[in-house]
Amino acid sequence: MRVVVPFAAERPKTRLDGVLSPAERVAFAQAMLADVLEALEEGGQTPEVLATAPFDATAVSGVSAGTGSVGSPEVPVRVDDRALTPAVNAVLEASEEPVAVVMADLALATPAALGELFAAEEGVVLAPGCGGGTNALLARHPDFRVDYHGTSFLDHCERARSIGARVGTVDSFRLATDIDEPTDLPEVLLHSENRAARWLRAAGFSLAVTDGRVSVRRGGE
Amino acid sequence: MRVVVPFAAERPKTRLDGVLSPAERVAFAQAMLADVLEALEEGGQTPEVLATAPFDATAVSGVSAGTGSVGSPEVPVRVDDRALTPAVNAVLEASEEPVAVVMADLALATPAALGELFAAEEGVVLAPGCGGGTNALLARHPDFRVDYHGTSFLDHCERARSIGARVGTVDSFRLATDIDEPTDLPEVLLHSENRAARWLRAAGFSLAVTDGRVSVRRGGE
């Protein structure tokens, strides 16, 4: 099985621009990527990064430096500067084995949660994200292709049906929680102790509760 | 095991006031309650409703009417007009058997997802909600008490530790998704075909995708 982790190397996490500088967004995104790769490796997988551009992983404390490597020195990085959908479809088209695609911003991912994805036996297995996205998928059927625009979860269900593939879903809060916006940051501090959580804490973020709702605050703000 | 579903019968779902009238919020909340009760019953449990006031369940099409009954006529309704935390703690104090507490707004709940909660063997089992809440819990330890204010998931973990109870967690997107705000409504349309989803559709709601983000729209708006 190929396990691909797409990564927007150049301008990651633009929706966090209200709370993080461009350089901070790169560092935080790389911390999340490293957490995802580590969870995959701990689960016995051999992930590869599908990056929009070459990148220097030294921005993340605790991540091995190297020529494009992240986490353990063995993780290969393939560069494809196309948008997410055509880049992933190129991998699907070129692969003769099943392909898993796991988003790089699943900061809560654990080997156990990802294991549910890999253990499922359907032709197409989908882990929905909050808001109708597809945060992780496993395509065993050779004709499956992705379309990440809009409510991709529904589109992927429909596409699987159209090629006669059985669809499985993974019911995981950890896989459903992609970290895109400031309102997602509390989940990292609540449910992880890994690199992304440590990066946020080192950058001064902590949980704040106002009117019964949780958010993050930074430093003495 | 006692399985308790707290329900704010009088003014439910106030945070949906921008999109639903007071009467609609009652009907939608009762539809979600009926879905949760049905999922519990299909999973072999015998739930009871812990309501803030007596209520008339006839607002929900497809739900049996009766003197305070919802769903199947056998579901008992206990009224306690106190706030959620003291009302649930009164049940915990009075019960000699394990107690599960499942929120009434888990419109995506399925027998399988709830089954993970009941199958866990720790002294305290928690299903976290988005934003640090506790959407479902199972207290096997007799000294466990709840505090739903703020980030209750962390508080419940701490409380369990303080009484020497082992803590288990249930990693479920379906149980993590409580339907509180307009931005939660797409999840119901995306991932359920049950009463709450049918109620939304009958009220004219449908999915809308704008700038790659999903929301709901109503009628021809």
Q: Assess A157–B contact: CB distance below 8 Å, yes or no.
A: no
Low-confidence ranges of chain B (pLDDT < 70): 58-73, 220-221
Whether residue A132 and residue B214 make contact (CB cut-off 8 A), yes or no, is: yes
Fold for A2-181, please state it.
Spore Coat Polysaccharide Biosynthesis Protein SpsA; Chain A (3.90.550)
What is the per-residue pLDDT for B66?
A: 38
Mean pLDDT of A35-63: 85
**What would the pLDDT profile of B200-217 be if each residue is shown by its tens digit?**
999 999 999 887 789 999
Q: Which distant-in-sequence residues (6+ apart) come within 8 Å of A139 by Cβ?
A: A92, A98, A99, A100, A101, A123, A124
**Would you say A171 and B208 are in contact if contact means Cβ atoms under 8 Å apart?**
no
CA distance B185 to chain A (A): 9
Query: Which of A25, A47, A57, A34 minimizes the C-alpha distance to A192?
Result: A34
Instruction: Report the greatest alpha carbon distance in chain B.
Output: 56
Whether residue A131 and residue B176 make contact (CB cut-off 8 A), yes or no, is: no
ipTM given for this complex: 0.93
**What would the pLDDT profile of A93-127 be if each residue is shown by its tens digit?**
999 999 999 999 999 999 999 999 999 999 999 99
Whether residue A214 and residue B132 make contact (CB cut-off 8 A), yes or no, is: yes
Task: Sketch the domain layout of chain A as residue ranges.
Answer: 2-181
What is the per-residue pLDDT for A74?
A: 72
DSSP string, A13-37: -GGGTTTS-HHHHHHHHHHHHHHHH
pLDDT at A66 over 70: no
* Number of Cβ within a 10 Å radius of residue A70: 29
Whether residue A172 and residue B171 make contact (CB cut-off 8 A), yes or no, is: yes
What is the per-residue pLDDT for B67?
A: 38
Query: Which of B63, B27, B19, B43 minimizes the C-alpha distance to B175?
Result: B43
- B221 versus A48: the higher-pLDDT residue is A48
**A92, A164, B27, B87 from B49: Cα distances, Å:** 49, 43, 16, 12
